[in-house]
Protein backbone atom coordinates (compact mmCIF):
# COMPACT_ATOMS: atom_id res chain seq x y z
CA UNK A 1 0.00 0.00 0.00
CA UNK A 2 1.50 3.34 -0.98
CA UNK A 3 2.36 5.71 1.79
CA UNK A 4 0.93 8.63 -0.11
CA UNK A 5 -2.62 7.96 0.97
CA UNK A 6 -3.20 11.43 2.19
CA UNK A 7 -6.47 13.20 2.16
CA UNK A 8 -7.05 15.14 -1.02
CA UNK A 9 -5.44 18.55 -0.76
CA UNK A 10 -7.80 21.44 -0.74
CA UNK A 11 -7.06 24.04 -3.33
CA UNK A 12 -8.73 26.65 -1.21
CA UNK A 13 -5.44 27.11 0.64
CA UNK A 14 -5.26 28.16 4.25
CA UNK A 15 -8.60 27.44 5.93
CA UNK A 16 -8.05 30.40 8.19
CA UNK A 17 -7.17 33.23 5.85
CA UNK A 18 -7.39 31.60 2.43
CA UNK A 19 -3.79 32.17 1.44
CA UNK A 20 -1.87 29.41 -0.32
CA UNK A 21 -0.79 26.78 2.16
CA UNK A 22 2.87 26.13 2.82
CA UNK A 23 4.42 22.66 2.95
CA UNK A 24 5.77 23.31 6.43
CA UNK A 25 2.46 24.27 7.92
CA UNK A 26 0.05 22.60 5.57
CA UNK A 27 -2.81 23.01 5.21
CA UNK A 28 -2.22 26.40 6.72
CA UNK A 29 -0.21 29.24 5.31
CA UNK A 30 1.73 29.82 8.50
CA UNK A 31 2.19 28.66 12.04
CA UNK A 32 0.11 31.58 13.16
CA UNK A 33 -2.92 30.45 11.24
CA UNK A 34 -2.33 26.97 12.55
CA UNK A 35 -2.59 28.31 16.07
CA UNK A 36 -5.70 30.25 15.20
CA UNK A 37 -7.31 27.15 13.82
CA UNK A 38 -6.33 25.21 16.89
CA UNK A 39 -7.92 27.90 19.01
CA UNK A 40 -11.14 27.51 17.08
CA UNK A 41 -11.09 23.83 17.78
CA UNK A 42 -10.63 24.41 21.47
CA UNK A 43 -13.47 26.89 21.47
CA UNK A 44 -15.72 24.42 19.75
CA UNK A 45 -16.34 26.97 17.08
CA UNK A 46 -15.39 24.76 14.23
CA UNK A 47 -17.55 22.80 11.86
CA UNK A 48 -15.88 19.62 10.78
CA UNK A 49 -16.48 19.19 7.03
CA UNK A 50 -15.72 15.50 7.20
CA UNK A 51 -14.33 12.98 9.64
CA UNK A 52 -10.65 12.12 9.35
CA UNK A 53 -9.60 8.79 7.98
CA UNK A 54 -8.87 7.55 11.45
CA UNK A 55 -11.89 5.79 12.87
CA UNK A 56 -11.31 4.08 16.14
CA UNK A 57 -14.47 2.07 16.07
CA UNK A 58 -13.41 -1.37 15.05
CA UNK A 59 -16.53 -3.12 16.19
CA UNK A 60 -19.81 -3.56 14.42
CA UNK A 61 -20.73 -1.32 11.53
ZN1 LIG B 1 -3.43 31.61 6.79
Summarised one tens digit per residue, pLDDT across range 5-52 is 666 554 669 999 999 999 999 999 999 999 998 888 887 765 666 666
Which residues hold their Cβ within 5 A of ligand 1, which is an ion?
A: 14, 16-17, 19, 29, 33
In a 13 Å sphere around the CA of 29, the CA atoms on its Cβ side amount to: 10
Residue 33 burial class via C-beta count within 10 angstroms: exposed 0-12, middle 13-18, buried 19 and up: buried
**Does residue 16 contact residue 28 with C-beta atoms inside 8 Å?**
yes
Distance 4 CA to ligand 1 centre (A): 24
pLDDT at 29: 95
- Peptide bond between residue 51 and the one before it cis (omega within 30 degrees of 0): no
pLDDT at 52: 64
Distance 57 CA to ligand 1 centre (A): 33
pTM of the shown model: 0.50
Distance 21 CA to ligand 1 centre (A): 7
**Does residue 37 contact residue 16 with C-beta atoms inside 8 Å?**
yes
Amino acid sequence: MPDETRRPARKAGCPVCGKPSQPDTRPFCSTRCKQIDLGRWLNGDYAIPGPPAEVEEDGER
